[in-house]
């Protein structure tokens, strides 16, 4: 069955592609050179609706489906994986958890600002010793009268420092394991909330990755998402969408790498006007990677389709993220090899894609974890 976009989905994909080429592409060298967050670019994306694509119009979004959002993310990531992950985290795990699990007061106060680009979102779950094992987080939230007091540290938080709103997870009852984790909305202005060390990464220059410190941060009960003890299920439910987003990002990297390789072999014709039949070993490599990239594309959009329909998609999201990220690393590596020394030079598109690709195998669950998720789903 061939994947076909609706007219609305195709128009969203086309507009996103055009924006990526005209607005994002020119600032990629600046982002790489200075490792600077593209704040001015985000301020352009807001009014165009790119920060609220799958959010209902009732809450300030564009009212598009998850497939259209995935297509936009895919096209943007072809040009800049850094901007792609900023958008993915903001939408998939920074905004949608509040929309899906929050109440109308929270949607009015936070989702509307996030969807219109007035605010940027982040997702604060990972801690030292609690990355793949998210149930082992140690940040605590103690209820006192009409508020909670949060204490702890989060690591490797995408968009941290630039974000205004943090969907944060803390332990409210240590005796209940995963059932003792609760979700909160933390404003960047909260007293005692501090942005820690900014990490210097091998790739995704321009995307912030920082520590977060909670030192007796008082959060009103009204900023709790769902009930006490529902945080772990909220996190896991949100991560399915996040993993599809990272799959779309990785797919964009693979597609960009494939385009680079194809561009390395300009079409030459004989004097009779026919293409020569000479076959090089590199052609076989390109053919193999083209097939893997197409397989990744189908997996990503299949998972997005299930998500859009409200159907369970944990297995499919893991498959999409795992296959797309493995393909991105393989395709980017092949592009560097094919271009030779030109592909190894700093500021080379192939070199950037190679650095950007690796982390897609790691964040939103390492691929080793996804193999466990997939096997568990199959063995149920």
Query: Which positions are annotated as active-site residues?
Result: 364
Both tokens of residue 305?
């389709």
The Cα 46–Cα 61 span in angstroms is 10
Q: Are 247 and 254 in contact (CB under 8 A)?
A: no
Which residue matches tokens 């700093």?
346
The Cα 373–Cα 317 span in angstroms is 10
| Coil vs helix vs strand at 213 | strand
Q: For Cα atoms 82, 85, 91, give the angle at the middle one, nearest 5 degrees.
A: 145
Label the pairing between strands 121-124 and 165-171.
parallel
Helices (H), the chain: 7-19, 28-34, 39-45, 66-79, 81-88, 96-101, 104-106, 112-116, 231-263, 281-308, 314-339, 341-344, 349-358, 367-379
For residue 346, the number of C-alpha atoms closer than 13 Å in the C-beta half-sphere is 5
Q: For Cα atoms 197, 198, 203, give the angle at the middle one, nearest 5 degrees.
A: 145
Which residue matches tokens 């393989």?
330
Q: Are 9 and 71 in contact (CB under 8 A)?
A: yes
| Coil vs helix vs strand at 219 | strand
Nearest Cα to Cα of residue 214 among 150, 148, 143: 150
């Amino acid at each position: 069955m061939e994947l076909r976009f609706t007219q609305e989905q195709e128009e969203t994909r086309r507009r996103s592609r055009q924006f990526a080429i005209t607005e994002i592409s020119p600032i990629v060298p600046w982002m790489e050179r200075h490792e600077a967050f593209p704040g001015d670019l985000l301020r352009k994306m807001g009014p165009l609706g790119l920060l609220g694509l799958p959010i209902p119009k009732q809450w300030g979004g564009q009212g598009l489906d998850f497939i259209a959002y995935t297509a936009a993310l895919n096209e943007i990531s072809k040009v800049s994986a850094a901007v792609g992950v900023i958008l993915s985290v903001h939408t998939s795990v920074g905004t949608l958890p509040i929309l899906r699990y929050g109440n109308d007061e929270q949607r009015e106060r936070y989702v509307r600002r996030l969807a219109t680009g007035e605010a940027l979102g982040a997702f604060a779950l990972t801690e030292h010793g609690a990355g793949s094992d998210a149930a082992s987080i140690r940040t605590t939230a103690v209820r006192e009268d009409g508020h909670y007091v949060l204490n702890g540290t989060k690591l490797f938080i995408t968009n941290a420092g630039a974000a205004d709103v943090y969907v944060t997870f803390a332990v409210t009852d240590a005796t209940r394991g995963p059932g003792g984790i609760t979700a909160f909305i933390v404003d960047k202005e909260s007293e005692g909330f501090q942005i820690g060390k900014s990490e210097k990464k091998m790739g995704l220059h321009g995307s912030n990755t920082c520590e977060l410190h909670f030192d007796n941060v008082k959060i009103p009960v009204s900023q709790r998402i769902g009930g006490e003890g529902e945080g772990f299920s909220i996190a896991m439910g949100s991560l399915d969408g996040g993993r599809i987003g990272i799959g779309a990002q990785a797919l964009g990297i693979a597609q960009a790498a494939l385009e680079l390789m194809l561009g390395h072999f300009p079409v030459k014709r004989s004097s009779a006007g026919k293409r020569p039949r000479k076959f090089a070993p590199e052609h076989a490599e390109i053919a193999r990677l083209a097939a893997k990239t197409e397989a990744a594309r189908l997996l990503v959009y299949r998972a997005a389709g299930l998500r859009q329909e409200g159907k369970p998609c944990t297995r499919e999201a893991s498959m999409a993220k795992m296959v797309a990220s493995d393909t991105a690393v393989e395709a980017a590596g092949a592009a560097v090899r094919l271009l030779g020394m030109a592909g190894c030079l700093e500021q080379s598109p192939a070199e950037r894609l190679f650095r950007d690709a690796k982390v897609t195998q790691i964040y939103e669950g390492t691929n080793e974890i996804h193999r466990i998720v997939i096997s568990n789903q199959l063995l149920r």
